[in-house]
Structure 1
Amino acid sequence: MAEAEGLRERKKRRTRQTIIEVAHELFQEKGFDSATLEEIAAGADVSVRTLFRYFTGKEAIALAPLDEMGDLTVAALRRRPADEPPLTALRCAALSAWALMSPDGGSLRRYADQLLPSDEATPLAGAVLSRLIVIGDRLAMELVDNEVLLVGGGTGGGAGVDGSVAGTVPTQASLSTVTELDAQMIVVSFLGAIQVAIRSWCRSGSTDLVELLAVVEKCLDRICLRT
């Protein structure tokens, strides 16, 4: 019975991921507004009724990669040591979440094309910005909820997907000095560095994830040196 339930869950995850991939391919090809739920369902080889078992609509499908990365990063952040510097904890949590998602380069480029904040005033762009704010608030609250936060200290040695970080030299501060405002500023800097890295990678025309991770590390090193 447990094996059967495991198979069902795996099938559901595959179906959900297929819907996301097909949808983002159509968004790239036709534009978000022009792609229809019927086309997405047909491309994923499911009925529209089945599609609605997984998602409430096109916006939810478009935002799904962002939601998943946010959920996984929050979960990974909760597992980080309480005495770890905030930026180090965020960095390791994000890399851990990335390893679990393990997208391919082409898929990530399609996600980025749709989800990177832009100057276009579209409903989807507004939804992306709202979701980034929510994710940022969740990450900041996880930092505040730690018993002790650490400030300062660079991570010049870089971080691996296993969460290991070399060269961290933290300076301890109690929760009375590291406030919710501090946590919000740290998270905004962190998310901004990630966005800068992804934009740079997209502009280069690359689909190589190793290259993207190198740019992400470089951007995170820059903000670590300034904290």
Structure 2
Amino acid sequence: MTGLRERKKRRTRDALIRTAHELFVAQGYERTTVDEIADAVEVSQRTFFRYFANKEEAAFALQRMVEERFFAAVGERPLHETPIQVLGNALGNAWYGIREAIQEVVPIELYMRMWQLIETTPALVAVHLRHSAEQGDRLAAELARRAGVDPEDDPRPHVLVAAFAGVMQLAGRRWAAGDDVTVDGARRLFQGYLSMLGPALAEGWGPAPGAPPPP
């Protein structure tokens, strides 16, 4: 059972995340200061820095939680699945339960608006891309381990993860520019784009059904 002290620490951390998200969405990431976040939660700046090294960590706290759920889902996939099936099925399964986990910290609408802000704020996009590259190496290593290959000698895990990451980034940008800022809307868009990865790599291209002929 979690002790009283740990529960209090969890409540403080959650309050800092929630307030940071509210301020970032309301007035912009770069215009929000650590002091404003701490003051709104009625804690000291020193307390803020016990939980986060900077406001960037607070901005990405829930994104990191979602990433860990995805990696856990990858590890749970059956070994008979192909690597691309592992990625697609893990992504699909990770969506289940995400809503509840997020809502323990912030309203789901606030989380989605923060995600949209991350995808459209240059300073946050740069951090997101750098972190995604690091996570890509981690994911490639896991896929290689599952397949029994050496990622240093066999480039396929890194090639597949690079393609997967590119699809996720494209879907993220398209989602952020759209009007359906919901978990279900994001899930449909991401899974729809991912379903095109295999055919895009393996099949000849022709006009999509119903598309006008090229000029």
The bucket for the TM-score relative to the shorter chain is 0.7 to 0.9
1:110 aligns with 2:111: no
SS at match of 2:196: helix
Of residues 202, 205, 214 in structure 1, which corresponds to 2:176? 202
Tell me: CA distance 1:208–1:181, structure 2 relative to 1, closer, same or farther (3 Å). Answer: same
Residue pairs, 1:125-136, within 5 angstroms: 125-136=125-136
The reply on whether 1:187 has 2:161 as its aligned counterpart is yes
Tell me how many residue pairs correspond in the alignment: 194
**Structure 1 runs of 4+ with >6 Å offset:** none
1:40-97 per-residue CA deviation (whole Å, 9 max, x = no partner) reads: 1223343322222211111211222332222222222122222211122122323333
TM-score normalized by the length of structure 2: 0.76
Residue 77 of structure 1, aligned match among 64, 74, 79:
74
2:27 to 12, 15, 30: 30
1:19, CA displacement in angstroms? Answer: 1.8
User: Quick one: distance in 2 between partners of 1:42 and 1:91?
Assistant: 42
Task: Give me the whole-angstrom Cα distance separating, in 2, the residues matched to 1:20 and 1:85.
Answer: 37
Q: Which amino acid aligns with 1:106?
A: L
Question: For residues 204 and 117 of structure 1, what CA distance do their matches in structure 2 show?
Answer: 12
Q: CA deviation at 1:27?
A: 2.0
- Residues 24 and 111, structure 1, Cα contact 8 Å, conserved in 2: no
Structure 2, unaligned stretches of length 5 or more? 103-107, 202-215
Equivalence map 1:1-227=2 (5 Å):
2=1, 4-5=2-3, 8-102=5-99, 103=102, 104-114=108-118, 116=119, 120=122, 122=123, 124-148=124-148, 175=149, 180-227=154-201
Deviates more, 1:34-43 or 1:7-16: 7-16
TM-score (norm 1): 0.72
Aligned-residue sequence identity (percent) comes to: 31
- Displacement of 1:146 in angstroms is 1.0
Secondary structure (helix, strand or coil) at the match of 1:65 reads: helix
8 Å CA contact 1:141–1:180 kept in 2: the answer is: no
Alignment partner of 2:77: what SS? Answer: coil
For residues 73 and 9 of structure 1, do their structure 2 counterparts lie closer, same or farther at Cα, with a shift above 3 Å needed? farther
In structure 2, the CA distance between the partners of 1:20 and 1:53, relative to structure 1 (3 Å rule), is same
